[in-house]
């Protein structure tokens, strides 16, 4: 870059910061101002892997460049007591982790599921922006947040393959990306900040593929969801997953029927175990 270009670029950055081109909130689409120190705090968080991002203040700092302060509010982290199997957070904030009623009763093909935040209005809106309004700027904070939760609940040496829950090719074509894969595709770089070695972990987009177009599950009952999802997936290369420890990634865990079906297919094809990590999780047991 030429010296004059660098000066020009600095001027542009400065004017953005000073509000000549204020950022637009991804959710409410209004412009807002960000004080300089907020930028600095967000940058400091990205450089400090030990910061607890489940702290609401820190989470808001991380979202500074994407959401206005009003739209940042309402964040709620998933915390113990939770179900050690499906990760659901109990409404009662007393006591220790214990299996939930559903996990005691029904078959779970995954070993454990964990999430970062409660899937409430705030997170619903945020994920909606990311998934349906193509706000892929959110890839950066989501990737970072998800990784911080990954190392909270897992030792990276206990996972061989990281794979997203797949979209059907038709939806992939319409949308142009698999939002779950975007959240992990740069994990090797993110891991370096955390001083974690991910070189032996395979991060792959197409471990599981959709075999049929399933109807959108929004508004369906648990039973309908299970029927809708049955046999919707296949393992692309079974030899690849034999004896492997797999971490499935998705944006949100609501009824769990999708990840459970993916886990079932993987286990049937010889995976050693399947775990699940999502950005958000519904608080209602599935
Ligand atoms: Zn807003
Ligand atoms: Zn459970």
Per-residue confidence of the chain (286 residues) as pLDDT tens digits? 566 677 777 766 666 655 567 889 998 999 998 888 888 999 999 998 888 999 999 999 999 999 998 999 889 999 999 999 999 999 888 899 999 998 999 889 999 999 999 999 999 999 998 888 888 889 999 999 999 999 999 999 999 999 999 876 666 666 667 889 999 999 999 999 999 999 999 999 989 988 876 666 677 777 777 777 777 889 989 999 999 999 999 999 988 888 999 999 999 999 999 999 999 999 865 4
Question: How far, in Å, is the centroid of ligand 2 from the Cα of 228?
Answer: 22
pLDDT at 286: 46
> What CATH number labels 78-281?
3.40.50.2020
Question: How far, in Å, is the centroid of ligand 2 from the Cα of 200?
Answer: 30
Point out the ligand nearest to the CA of residue 68. 1
Question: How far, in Å, is the centroid of ligand 2 from the Cα of 211?
Answer: 28
Point out the ligand nearest to the CA of residue 63. 1
Point out the ligand nearest to the CA of residue 126. 1
φ, ψ at 251 (rounded to 5°) = -75, -40
Q: Are 113 and 72 in contact (CB under 8 A)?
A: no
92-125 burial: b if 16+ Cβ within 10 Å, else e:
eeeeeeeebebbeeeebbbbbbbbbbbbeebbeb
Structure tokens at 136: 């892929």
pLDDT at 210: 86
Question: How far, in Å, is the centroid of ligand 2 from the Cα of 220?
Answer: 20
pLDDT at 235: 93
Point out the ligand nearest to the CA of residue 97. 2
Question: How far, in Å, is the centroid of ligand 2 from the Cα of 82?
Answer: 8
Structure tokens at 49: 């892997």
Question: How far, in Å, is the centroid of ligand 2 from the Cα of 253?
Answer: 12
For 173, counting Cβ atoms within 10 Å of its Cβ (0-12 exposed, 13-18 middle, 19+ buried), the class is exposed
φ, ψ at 89 (rounded to 5°) = -90, 130
Point out the ligand nearest to the CA of residue 85. 2
Per domain, the residue ranges of the chain are 1-73, 78-281
Question: Using CA atoms, how far apart are residues 214 and 224, in angstroms rounded to an integer?
Answer: 11
pLDDT at 166: 87
DSSP state of 92: S
Query: CB within 8 A of 132, min separation 6: which ones?
Result: none
Point out the ligand nearest to the CA of residue 286. 2
Point out the ligand nearest to the CA of residue 125. 1
Point out the ligand nearest to the CA of residue 276. 2
Question: How far, in Å, is the centroid of ligand 1 from the Cα of 26?
Answer: 7
């Amino acid at each position: 870059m030429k010296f004059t270009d660098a000066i020009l670029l600095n001027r542009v950055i400065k004017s953005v910061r000073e509000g000549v081109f204020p950022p637009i909130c991804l959710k409410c689409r209004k412009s807002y101002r960000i004080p300089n120190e907020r930028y600095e705090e967000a940058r400091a968080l990205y450089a400090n892997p030990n910061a607890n991002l489940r702290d609401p203040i820190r989470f808001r700092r991380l979202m500074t460049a994407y959401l206005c302060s009003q739209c940042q509010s309402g964040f709620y982290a998933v915390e113990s007591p939770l179900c050690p199997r499906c990760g659901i957070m109990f409404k009662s904030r007393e006591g220790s982790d214990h299996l939930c009623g559903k996990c005691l009763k029904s078959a779970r093909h995954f070993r454990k599921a964990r999430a970062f935040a409660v899937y409430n209005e705030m997170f619903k809106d945020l994920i909606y922006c990311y998934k349906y309004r193509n706000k892929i700027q959110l890839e950066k904070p989501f990737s970072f947040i998800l990784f911080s939760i990954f190392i909270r609940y897992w030792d990276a040496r206990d996972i061989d393959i990281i794979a997203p829950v797949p979209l059907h090719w038709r939806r992939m074509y319409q949308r142009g990306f698999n939002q779950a894969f975007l959240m992990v595709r740069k994990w090797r770089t993110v891991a370096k900040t955390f001083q974690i070695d991910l070189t032996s972990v395979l991060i792959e987009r197409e471990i599981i593929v959709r075999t049929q177009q399933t109807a959108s599950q929004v508004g369906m009952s648990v039973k309908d969801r299970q029927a809708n999802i049955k046999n919707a997936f296949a393992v692309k290369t079974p030899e690849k997953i034999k004896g492997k420890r797999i971490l499935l990634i998705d944006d949100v865990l609501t009824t769990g029927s999708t990840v459970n079906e993916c886990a079932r297919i993987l286990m049937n094809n010889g995976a050693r175990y399947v775990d699940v990590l999502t950005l958000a999780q519904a608080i209602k047991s599935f």
